[in-house]
Amino acid sequence: MDSQELASIASRVRRHIIRAIHQAGSGHPGGSLSCADILVALYFSAMRIRPDEPDWEDRDRLVLSKGHACPALYAVLAERGFFPVEELDSLRKLGSMLQGHPDMKRTPGVEASTGSLGQGLSQAVGMALALKLDRRPARVYVLLGDGELQEGQVWEAAMAAAHYRLDNLTAIVDFNGLQIDGRIEHVMSPLPLVDKWQAFNWAVHQCDGHNMDALIGALSWVGKVTGAPSVIIARTVKGRGVSFMENVADWHGKAPDAEKTKVALSELGGAGVGR
Amino acid sequence: MAGKATREAYGDALVELGAVYEELVVLDADLSKSTMTAKFQKAYPERFFNIGIAEQNLMGIAAGMAAAGKIPFASTFAIFATGRAWEQVRNTIAYPAHNVKIAASHAGITVGPDGASHQALEDIALMRVIPGMTVLVPADAWETRQVVEAAIKHKGPVYIRLGRPAVPDIYDETYRFRIGEASLLCDGDDVAIVAAGYMVHVALSARDILAREGVSARVINMCSVKPLDSSVLLRAALECKAVVTAEEHSIIGGLGSAVAEFLAERCPVPVRRVGVRDLFGQSGEPGELLQAYGLTPEDIVEEALEAIRAR
């Protein structure tokens, strides 16, 4: 699949995100839109998966550590065929398989129950350790928020991943620079990111998190790293693709009303609130 | 009666069962010589993972290993396993119902001289409140061996509470434990003493004292604190009409609370709880601390007589 096709899937994913959050009346559009391209590059290019066999033992895994961005993950999983796209309408509703934060017991293709920030990397380390122990070829990916790096447990896990030389583990930081209360460096700076990960003995790569060629390049670079875990610092824009949401912290966890939804969908190349 | 600490029996059980269950892996947080997981490390170094002094990460890694098909035993001291890493245990282990066994040693006041910071008196309460968590408190080495295997065979999260000091043997190699089933140690019909862990042999001493005073006490080992053995409890309440609980834990939220909650709804009879009375511990030898905090056979006797008088 070329980068043009990937970009067009990403546009559809963004429209799903806006529609689903609007229909739910709540959710997290900003961080979902910032990581949409990353997830499309993973699920439609890098990852070895079988949507019709979600429990395949040798599958690559993704842990969405920034669980609040699950509308993006759900949209990508639906587009990839793990469940019908129509399910996206049930986001956050009673009895839905699409919970407000990821629930691996309910959703095919979701590899970890997350939402409480800082806990995904540890789980990914555990998966990577177990897969190595069984000499399985699978890779474990984990998507982290940049604000999330303020959680101490992330660095406990980063230490462990390097200690156990988990070269089957790749972290991707969705570096959009914003968290609920504002800019990350104003709230509690986790910077400098590259130096920190390097100091924790990870192989580090930086790329534009909205450029499909750059993302595919970064995801192929991780395969060349041996003896250490790899991290991709993906520079992104929170709210990417919707002009009034871009770089506005206020759109971290707020649903657009009908009018805003219409504007957002038209900017994303699709008309109307319906599918 | 000779006996060894439940933590030591835990280490031995891991070594024995590690040969049978290939998926069994063991994780520790720099306390492997104290939790006795070092025994497993020596026998199966490739299946042992030291996570360092990072208990939250310990729980998360254990969850990830379970997600990839392993049966992880995560061990550290009870205060850190259940206190420091509580939210990790809730959200990352129990919510997805991962097959992780949390085996925590140094629970209770009998930790001794290390003092209050290291004496978990709240761990049963903290684990019992989590949906789907099984809570097991073995009383001696033989029961510990049984509990470890029962935990392996049970699919889902299990908390196993282990102690630091040696405890007398109550059982022998013929003993069989099942989750949700209590063990009736001796029959009696004036009062029922429901105990767990270290306090089971203390309860047996209390029974002897009561017998000398002409009081016939039933002693029940409620190793399975969650799920409780409701039929044994109900029968005890109906037949003895007075119940005393005994545990090396706060009287808030532990075995005593579980028993009182159940009986208040199903068969209200006088219940008295022997345990630590809403206090932190302190340094001291285990025997001194048990005395200072009201966890002796005499304390159980006193509460038993109280319960009998109240009915």
Average pLDDT, chain B: 98
Residue A226: give the domain boundaries. Answer: 3-267
pLDDT at B218 over 80: yes
Residue A148 in any domain: the answer is yes
At B100-142, the pLDDT tens digits run 999 999 999 999 999 999 999 999 999 999 999 999 999 999 9
Rounded CA separation A131/A170 (Å): 14
ipTM of the complex: 0.96
Q: Is A134 on the interface with B (CB under 8 A)?
A: yes
Q: How confident is the model at residue A275, as a pLDDT?
A: 54
Residue A212 in any domain: the answer is yes
Percent of chain A with pLDDT over 90: 97
Average pLDDT, chain A: 97
Contacts (Cβ under 8 Å, ≥6 apart) of A189: none
Q: Is B21 on the interface with A (CB under 8 A)?
A: no
Q: Is A99 on the interface with B (CB under 8 A)?
A: no
Contact B96 A164 (CB under 8 A): no
Rounded CA separation B6/B105 (Å): 8
Rounded CA separation B65/B55 (Å): 15
- Residue A38 in tokens: 């990353």
Q: How confident is the model at residue B1 (pLDDT cuts 50, 70, 90)?
A: low
Dihedral sign (CA A215, A218, A222, A224): positive
Contacts across the A-B interface (CB distance below 8 Å)? 104
Question: For residues B286 and B112, is the Cβ–Cβ distance under 8 A?
Answer: yes
Please, what are the domains in chain B?
Answer: 6-161 (3.40.50.970), 183-310 (3.40.50.920)
Domain at A244, CATH number: 3.40.50.970
- Residue B55 annotated in active site: yes
Contact A129 B65 (CB under 8 A): yes
pLDDT at A273 over 70: no
Residue A275 in any domain: the answer is no
Question: For residues B259 and B240, is the Cβ–Cβ distance under 8 A?
Answer: no
Give the residue from chain B lying closest to A129, CA to CA: B65
Residue A161 half-sphere exposure, CB side, CA atoms within 13 Å?
A: 37
Q: Which residues of chain B lie closer than 8 angstroms to A121, CB-CB?
A: 60
Q: Which residues of chain A lie closer than 8 angstroms to B63, CB-CB?
A: 112, 122-123, 126
C-alpha distance from A157 to closest chain B C-alpha (Å) = 6
At A234-262, the pLDDT tens digits run 999 999 999 999 999 999 999 999 999 99
Contact A103 B49 (CB under 8 A): no
C-alpha distance from B76 to closest chain A C-alpha (Å) = 16
pLDDT at A272 over 70: no
3-state secondary structure of B122: coil
3-state secondary structure string across B225-268 = EECCCHHHHHHHHHHHCCEEEEEEEECCCCHHHHHHHHHHHHCC
At A20-33, the pLDDT tens digits run 999 999 999 999 99
Q: Which residues of chain A lie closer than 8 angstroms to B22, CB-CB?
A: none
Rounded CA separation B16/A273 (Å): 62
Q: Residue for token digits 């429990």?
A: A55
Residue A274 in any domain: the answer is no
Q: How confident is the model at residue A270 (pLDDT cuts 50, 70, 90)?
A: confident
Residues 96-115 of B with CB under 8 A from A: 96-97
- Strand B224-226 relative to strand B134-136: parallel, antiparallel, unpaired? antiparallel
Percent of chain A with pLDDT over 70: 98
Average pLDDT for residues B288-302, to the nearest whole number? 98
Closest CA to B60 of A219, A242, A130: A130
Q: Where are the alpha helices (DSSP H) in chain B?
A: 6-18, 32-35, 38-43, 55-67, 78, 86-88, 123-128, 141-153, 199-212, 230-240, 255-266, 286-292, 297-310
Residue A273 in any domain: the answer is no
At B167-213, the pLDDT tens digits run 999 999 999 999 999 999 999 999 999 999 999 999 999 999 999 99
Rounded CA separation B152/B66 (Å): 12
Rounded CA separation B188/B210 (Å): 11
Please report, as a single letter, which amino acid is at residue B57. Answer: N
Q: How confident is the model at residue A271, as a pLDDT?
A: 57
Average pLDDT for residues B147-171, to the nearest whole number? 98
- Radius of gyration from C-alpha coordinates of chain B: 18
Q: How many domains does chain A have?
A: 1
Q: How confident is the model at residue B2, as a pLDDT?
A: 73
